[in-house]
Structure 1
Amino acid sequence: MREKDTQYVLDWIAIQELVAEYGQAIDFGKDTGDWSRWANVFTPQLTADYSRFMGGEPIHITREQAAEYGRVAVSAFSRVQHATATTIRIHFKNQTQAQVMAYAEVAHYFTLGGVQQEWTIVARYTHDVVKTAEGWRIEKVLLDPVHYRGNPLGLEFVQGKRLA
């Protein structure tokens, strides 16, 4: 366990901000088309494990590919909103590595037949983070769904289905 000195507190705050930025940067990317903020939360190479959510296997990609992956995943929605828990659990492995668990509620909005729809996922994120020259960055992300609510078509949209 790390000594809880000033550097510990600074790292803890930086990781808290990184986890909040993960979700807010997706929302920003959807709203503006600028996905550079989301790419910036990651290390240059990362493992994205959305297998519990999307099926398949974890993927090893660049941060730029992650930004494109996020853009495509939310492209069918008019808006998205990530509400990440303000209390997260950080387990420091050493001075430059930690594992973070955070819960999030992510609302996805779309229109169907002129009627506003919502699909929401409640999930636990596990992030393996490392301290780099750029600051703390996510090296691996695991998304573990806990609950879904709303129009289930939203899940199909995330998985790539589109209406004709």
Structure 2
Amino acid sequence: MREKNLQYMLDWMAIQELAVEYGQAIDYGQDTGDWSRWENVFTPEVTADYSRFMGSDVVTLKREQMPEVAKTGLRSFKRVQHATAMCVGIQFQSDTQAEAMSYAEVAHYFPLGGVQQEWTIVARYTFAVEKTPSGWKIRKVLLDPVHYRGNLLGLELVQGKRLV
């Protein structure tokens, strides 16, 4: 176990901020088309496990490929809003490796017949994080759905259904 000194606290705060940045950077990318902020939360190679959510395979990708994963899943939504809890559980394995777990409510907005619809997922994110020369980065992400609410067509849209 790590000694809880100043460096421990600085690392703990940086990992908390990283967990929040993961969601806010997706929202920013969806709103602006600039995905560089989201790409920057990852190590050069990242394992993405969205299998419990999207029914997809676990994949290991270059960080530059991660925006395509998000764009594909969000293509049907006009806006997305991640409300990530700042209460992030962190377990340090070493001075440069840790596991972080946080909860998020993610609202997805889409039009249907001229009426805005909302679909929200409450999820637990588990991140394997690594301290790099440019700060803490996500090496692996697991999204575990806890609950859905709103128009469940949203889940089908994430999983690839297209509106005609």
TM-score grouping bracket, smaller chain normalisation: over 0.9
Give the aligned partner of residue 156 of structure 1. 156
Give the aligned partner of residue 99 of structure 1. 99
The percent identity for this pair of structures is 69
> Are 1:59 and 2:59 an aligned pair?
yes
2:34 is paired with a residue of what secondary structure?
coil
TM-score by length of 1: 0.98
Alignment map for 1:135-146 (pairs within 5 Å): 135-146=135-146
1:81 is paired with a residue of what secondary structure?
strand
Give the aligned partner of residue 113 of structure 2. 113
Question: CA shift at 1:57, angstroms?
Answer: 2.3
Question: CA shift at 1:139, angstroms?
Answer: 0.2
Letter in 2 for 1:115: V
Give the aligned partner of residue 73 of structure 2. 73
CA deviation vs aligned residue, 1:71-94 (integer Å, no higher than 9, x gap):
121121010000001111000000
**Following TM superposition, where does structure 1 have runs of at least 4 consecutive aligned residues deviating by more than 6 angstroms?**
none
> Are 1:35 and 2:41 an aligned pair?
no
Provide the rounded CA distance (Å) in 1 between the counterparts of 2:112 and 2:71.
21
Give the aligned partner of residue 26 of structure 2. 26
Question: CA shift at 1:54, angstroms?
Answer: 1.3
Question: CA shift at 1:147, angstroms?
Answer: 0.2
2:29–2:35: 8 Å Cα contact kept in structure 1?
yes
Q: Which runs of 5+ in 1 are unaligned?
A: none
Question: CA shift at 1:162, angstroms?
Answer: 1.1
1:124–1:144: 8 Å Cα contact kept in structure 2?
yes
Query: Once superposed, what is the RMSD of the aligned Cα atoms?
Result: 0.7
TM-score by length of 2: 0.98
Give the aligned partner of residue 90 of structure 2. 90
Provide the rounded CA distance (Å) in 1 between the counterparts of 2:158 and 2:54.
8
1:35–1:71: 8 Å Cα contact kept in structure 2?
no
1:155 is paired with a residue of what secondary structure?
helix
2:161 is paired with a residue of what secondary structure?
coil
